[in-house]
Amino acid sequence: MCRSGRWGGGSFGQAVIRDDIENLIAGAVRRAQEAGEVPAVPVPAVAVERPQSPLHGDYACSLALRIARSARMNPMDIASAIGRHIKGGDELSLVEVVAPGFINFHLSEAWLVAQVNAILQQGPAFGDVPLGQGRRVQVEYVSANPVGPLHVGNGRGLALGDTLARVLAAAGYDVQREYLVNDAGTQTQIFAATLYAHYQQLLGREVELPEGGYPGEYMLKLAQELLAEHGDSLLRPPGEPYPQELHDLGVAKMLGVIKEDLAAVGVHYDNWFSEQALYTSGTYEEALALVRERGYVVEREGAVWFVSSALGDEKDNVLVRSSGAPTYFASDLAYHYDKFLRRGFDRVINVWGADHQGHVPRMKAAASALGVDSERLTIIIYQLVTLKRGAEVVRLSKRAGEIITLRDVIEEVGADAARFNFVGRAAASHIEFDLELAKRQGAENPVYYVQYAHARIAGILSHAERIGDYADGDVSLLTHEAELALVRKMLFLPELVESIAVSLEPHQLPYYAVELATAFHDFYERCRVVSDEVPLPLSKARLKLVAAAKQVLARALGLMGMTAPERM
């Protein structure tokens, strides 16, 4: 973490500069009110903005405009009064009050370039922020039923969940990534029935594929594998259902395929949680007993109901069917009992597709029924991906005949490009993924623009051998506007990490990465690092600058689970 002492001379002590600025303002407002220069009206939480135009400085505050009405005072006068009480240190070169009432903060150039040393000293940890304080957070994402390979749509949840997990870890949370394996529900039963039908057909038996089964070709391949590995040992007398062993073998095989898919995108899970385990470990009974004890269970029409309507949901939900079989909702209730009460996560984040949107209110109600503050459960809903091939819309469903697997897309465009594209879309946006476009844009994808910046720096650093050690480089020699712009972008990373950890919207990351790369490419065009024309001291200072930029680029890419190539 940043230490003010190391930075020297200033009072900024936090990883996130914005926090320092907000503290300055909050103090100034308090003093201005105490001095009677600003009426003692309630003041909203100070929030500074990043102005779009560099003319407006590095940070801007519109507080005066916001409180002008309640203070019955001209916003310019309020801003001036606050401005007079701001006690800036060496970090700021200018604090100006601008019409109609903004207070703009300009970071000092000397302080800015000094941060290059601070960034290098922090190394790969630059970008970390002490927000989570080690609190335990679980992020569960994708958790696709093990009844088929991952499809393109899963890629979105994957990129979203995985990036979120990485950012939360950088923000100081103790993060666990979890995949729930739905190995106990009706879907895997239908899957097994389909598999068994194929298996029987291969053994010459005249049976039909079940209604509503899984039509994908991979099912036939799977049956062939079972036949090759187990012969006819899984066959049962005609008319009898499939053996449990076939179900389990099929699910295990499918899970293996999914794990390979995940490995291809570079996603690693810390824990694979079996739904079946809820029933073998007593969790399900415990969870149900607790909810019953707390008065949220009634028996009606032969079934067991959860009275979610008492907790804000629109209607009640069945927990146990009249057949005695638990519903998906009962499983999920028990699953969250396990997450919160057994494993004790401080916070649980579930990343779900929009087709699960209706499930949100009852899960929130379930948390409350378990005695857990529903604020500790965050469910992120991302809109489903519309898949297109040119103008034609392709249906994304394992139940439909055609599936476009995630693996297909990754083999076509590469894991980095796929992730970059998916991360860059806000979860609420409805995105269209054009397979043809993705293919064509393979080489024009902005992901290469970012990676190229990293590779270019690696090239520069390899030329630095004739300069030797540049650790004594004097960063105060960095005064060119392109150099300053690059430093400014680098310093934004911790702030971005913090803001994403709060908003849980990682789509800003790729945009930042592109901006950082742009700042570097611009610097590259305008400032020579190693050359006979460049004085040695300046070369050394610039080597420090690009070494820091390389490190920050790598971190930004790393937070998205992408590679940072040394050459391209």
State in angstroms the smallest separation of the CB of 289 from RNA: 20
Bridge partner residues of 352 (DSSP):
381
Query: Closest by alpha carbon to 171, among 411, 372, 1?
Result: 1
State in angstroms the smallest separation of the CB of 227 from RNA: 28
State in angstroms the smallest separation of the CB of 271 from RNA: 19
Bridge partner residues of 272 (DSSP):
179
State in angstroms the smallest separation of the CB of 527 from RNA: 6
State in angstroms the smallest separation of the CB of 388 from RNA: 8
536-559 and 508-526 are packed helices; what angle lies between their axes, rounded to 10 degrees? 160
State in angstroms the smallest separation of the CB of 526 from RNA: 8
Query: Closest by alpha carbon to 363, among 339, 326, 336, 325?
Result: 336
Query: Closest by alpha carbon to 437, among 484, 386, 395?
Result: 386
Q: Which is nearer to RNA, 273 or 433 (CB)?
A: 433
Distance in angstroms (rounded) separating the CA atoms of residues 212 and 377: 34
User: 424 CB contacts (<8 Å, ≥6 apart)?
Assistant: 507, 509, 510, 511
State in angstroms the smallest separation of the CB of 404 from RNA: 15
**Token pair belonging to 181:** 């394996």
353: region left, alpha or beta (phi > 0 left; psi from -120 to 50 alpha) = beta
Task: State the DSSP H helix or E strand holding residue 362, giving kind and residue range, or none if neither.
Answer: helix 360-369
Q: Which is nearer to RNA, 87 or 321 (CB)?
A: 321
Q: Which is nearer to RNA, 4 or 508 (CB)?
A: 508
Q: Which is nearer to RNA, 228 or 391 (CB)?
A: 391
Taking residue 81's Cβ as centre, other Cβ atoms within 10 Å add up to 21
The answer to whether 540 touches 120, Cβ cutoff 8 Å, is no
Q: Which is nearer to RNA, 122 or 326 (CB)?
A: 326
CA 464 from chain centre, in angstroms, equals 36
The answer to whether 380 touches 350, Cβ cutoff 8 Å, is yes
Q: Which is nearer to RNA, 476 or 503 (CB)?
A: 503
Q: Which is nearer to RNA, 4 or 62 (CB)?
A: 62
* Phi–psi pair at 294, nearest 5 degrees: -85, 0
State in angstroms the smallest separation of the CB of 508 from RNA: 6
Q: Which is nearer to RNA, 111 or 520 (CB)?
A: 520
State in angstroms the smallest separation of the CB of 387 from RNA: 11
Q: Which is nearer to RNA, 120 or 384 (CB)?
A: 384
Q: Which is nearer to RNA, 79 or 370 (CB)?
A: 79
SS (H, E, C) 77-119: HHHHHHHHCCCCCCCEEEEEEECCCEEEEEECHHHHHHHHHHH
Bridge partner residues of 274 (DSSP):
181
State in angstroms the smallest separation of the CB of 415 from RNA: 14
Distance in angstroms (rounded) separating the CA atoms of residues 379 and 393: 28
Task: State the DSSP H helix or E strand holding residue 568, giving kind and residue range, or none if neither.
Answer: none
